[in-house]
Structure 1
Amino acid sequence: MTHDSTPLILPATASSPLAPPPLRPATGLLGAAAVIVFYFLMQLVFGQIFAAVARMLLGLNLDDAHAVGQAVRAPDILLGMVVCTLLAASAVTLGLIVWRWRPWLTSGASAGLGFNRPELRFLAMGLLAGIVLPFVGGALTQFLAGKHEVTQAVSELADGASVGMRVLLLPIVVMVGPLVEEALFRGALLSSLRGRFSVATSIAASALVFGAVHLPDLDWAWYAVPNLTLIGVACAWLRVRTGSIWPSFAAHAMNNALASVAWFVAAN
């Protein structure tokens, strides 16, 4: 009886550190669309939950609809609900992304989500884009809007809230929001598009979706969408050019930071 001395070679798995990066996209178009819808659905769900908690903590008579409405619409209370809602929705969505697509997270290839370390020069490129974009996009929006005023729901809330609550909202708008949106639009969505279309088509399509989903927050002001689409194009290009999602996150975060300066200027 003879024994084969050939060593046993086990196939690489997605969980193995020696496994090659997956060649297929992290998700298809349907999966990418589903996780984007999931994020905004979680905002609705957690918004209702925290509104109920606020009513309970304030000891409001739920039968008095007018009193409840007036109290919950108080700027600081409403802004606190927004902060809690965005934190909860972002945490759940990011958790889902990590759980569902862990093997693709740190891959910088077209199929991956791009959470890999970039070169410092690429981060600087993203920050520079984030400084330029608000001025270019703002001028474009004002040109298209004409005499119409352009505001966002979050900005209107911040304008009526105390400085302390604005400070509390700032890291959500500058850090948390851009992180989850980059994971969704320049991660899952862009990856799924690049598996089917050219780079240019994928960048354009992901940017258009990014602009369109913000319409409700803009009170359906279509003339603000080109600005958001421009930001989406820049961030998607950075993701493709650098092989990492962090430069696009830097651009997105800087853009939001500059847009948030008006909250504190108005407070003085």
Structure 2
Amino acid sequence: MSPSSPRQAPVPPWKNLLGALSLLVAALIWTSGLVNSLSRPSVAPSLNLQQQEVQLLAEPALPDTLGSVLRGGENPRTILKGSLEQIPAADRSWRQTQLLDLLQNEVATVPEIDAADDPLLDRLLCEARGGASGDCINPAVARSAAVRLSVSALLPLITAVTGTALLLGQGWRLWRGRRESWPDLKGPTLTLLDMALLVAGGFVVISAVGVPLLVLPLVSRLTAGLDSPRREAVGVVINYSVMALPSLLILRRQLASLPKDITPEGGWLQWRWRPLSGAFFTALAGWCKVTPIVVLTGWLLVRLFGDPGGSNPLLELVLDSRDPLALSLLALTAVVLAPLFEEVIFRGTLLPVLARRTGSVTGVVLSGLLFGVAHISIGELAPLTVLGIGLALVRLSSGRLFPCVLMHALWNAVTFVNLLLL
């Protein structure tokens, strides 16, 4: 921990009042946001449909054994047809209706459709017009789909297996009494009131309410000349960047008020960039370990309660976008801006303060829970809380903030790539 105890200066009454109001308003915002997220659609159905389409496209290029494993032994046409049939007719898109008609062989006359940019629709139309199955298959498209499907399915599997092995090894060492000693947790000697002002006041109230009211009209003007999805992508980058500013400015002022003579080696946030190789290895190991637990948490949630919906809107933007510039801007937000900002707040500042005040275990759980709640998605609350706990444990075990940023960026990058593959 820090070499000095927290400041004991008298606290002005207005500051206590401001902290209490910030907590109250933040609680109302988060509660309302979580409830409202139930009405947001989940990306899971779209992801499942995309994966089933890729399975059908990849079928000719996959070895029988691998193809059977990836699709669970069922015929990909049957799987896709069944999923499309479950969508109410009124909710099906024009393309989904065409695909279902072709899969059901219910097309009296083959429609005249330009499907040059839609490999699956083009293949099914070719077959409906009497073309031989082999002649309707584009080998290059099939090979590309097979690679995409294999990577999107096998990467999570390999990561989960590796992570499980690492967790079992760590559990064995703990059981044998060979637990590695962790460094002292160093961090800002701020108070819980400071955290209320930083997280509730800056991160939630000002950033989530005040800034959008001022920035959204400006963003609308700046992006008025852009077409979708670039308009939405530029808006995401600007909004996220501006929303991060209040919290960072508050934190900068709070850190500047701390006595300079007690600043720990490496600074209050303990970035400790070097050695880079150690940071990357720690991040990679942490990502592997947390993956099976997050996956298991999400699976149990769906099994017990069904898909609650409320997915992050950014996922839908990535899934629906085909524009390289838009995807690059969304990747910048997800893989660079979000990990940097969120790790500074949650693992760089909040975790050390909570751990000092409540103990390491409680601090890890509370910081992880607040991290999950801050994403305002009821469907992702439990998995993101587990991810937050994993990031907090990396911060504790390494004594560094940089590996947490790398692990967070790696998690978002793999999620982003999987969406692109589908």
Tell me if TM exceeds 0.5. Answer: yes
Deviations 1:128-164 (CA, angstroms, capped at 9, x unpaired): 3224534541342133123416531211122233332
Residues 96/58 of structure 1: CA separation in 2 closer, same or farther (3 Å cut): closer
Q: Is the 8 A contact 1:47 1:82 kept in 2?
A: no
CA drift at 1:184 = 1.0
Partner in structure 1 of residue 371 of structure 2: 210
Partner in structure 2 of residue 165 of structure 1: 326
Which letter does structure 2 place at the counterpart of 1:148? D
Q: Is the 8 A contact 1:93 1:180 kept in 2?
A: no
CA drift at 1:211 = 1.4
How far apart, CA to CA, are the structure 1 residues paired with 2:219 and 2:381? 33
Residues 211/58 of structure 1: CA separation in 2 closer, same or farther (3 Å cut): closer
2:407 counterpart of 1:251: yes
Partner in structure 1 of residue 231 of structure 2: 77
Which letter does structure 2 place at the counterpart of 1:99? R
Q: Is the 8 A contact 2:368 2:389 kept in 1?
A: yes
How far apart, CA to CA, are the structure 1 residues paired with 2:357 and 2:220? 48
Q: 3-state DSSP class of the match of 1:27? A: coil
2:351 counterpart of 1:190: yes
Residues 159/172 of structure 1: CA separation in 2 closer, same or farther (3 Å cut): same
Identity %: 21
Q: Is the 8 A contact 2:223 2:234 kept in 1?
A: no
**Superposed counterparts of 1:102-251, under 5 Å:** 102=256, 107=264, 112-119=268-275, 120-146=277-303, 147-148=306-307, 150=309, 151-161=311-321, 162-214=323-375, 216=376, 218=377, 220-221=378-379, 224-251=380-407
Deviations 1:81-130 (CA, angstroms, capped at 9, x unpaired): 11101112224433432332145897479x94322335432431112322
Residues 122/167 of structure 1: CA separation in 2 closer, same or farther (3 Å cut): closer
* 4+ aligned runs moved over 4 Å, structure 1: 20-23, 57-60, 102-106
How far apart, CA to CA, are the structure 2 residues paired with 1:176 and 1:50? 18
CA drift at 1:254 = 0.7
Partner in structure 1 of residue 248 of structure 2: 94
How far apart, CA to CA, are the structure 1 residues paired with 2:351 and 2:296? 27
Which letter does structure 2 place at the counterpart of 1:155? L
Stretches of structure 1 lacking an aligned partner (at least 5 in a row): 1-19, 61-70
TM-score (norm 1): 0.73
CA drift at 1:27 = 1.5
CA drift at 1:258 = 0.7
Q: Is the 8 A contact 2:368 2:386 kept in 1?
A: yes
Deviations 1:20-46 (CA, angstroms, capped at 9, x unpaired): 965434311121132123123324434
Structure number with larger C-alpha Rg = 2
Residues 209/59 of structure 1: CA separation in 2 closer, same or farther (3 Å cut): closer
Q: Is the 8 A contact 2:236 2:333 kept in 1?
A: no
How far apart, CA to CA, are the structure 1 residues paired with 2:342 and 2:4? 23
How far apart, CA to CA, are the structure 2 residues paired with 1:212 and 1:259? 19
Which letter does structure 2 place at the counterpart of 1:177? A
Residues 135/54 of structure 1: CA separation in 2 closer, same or farther (3 Å cut): same
How far apart, CA to CA, are the structure 2 residues paired with 1:58 and 1:240? 42
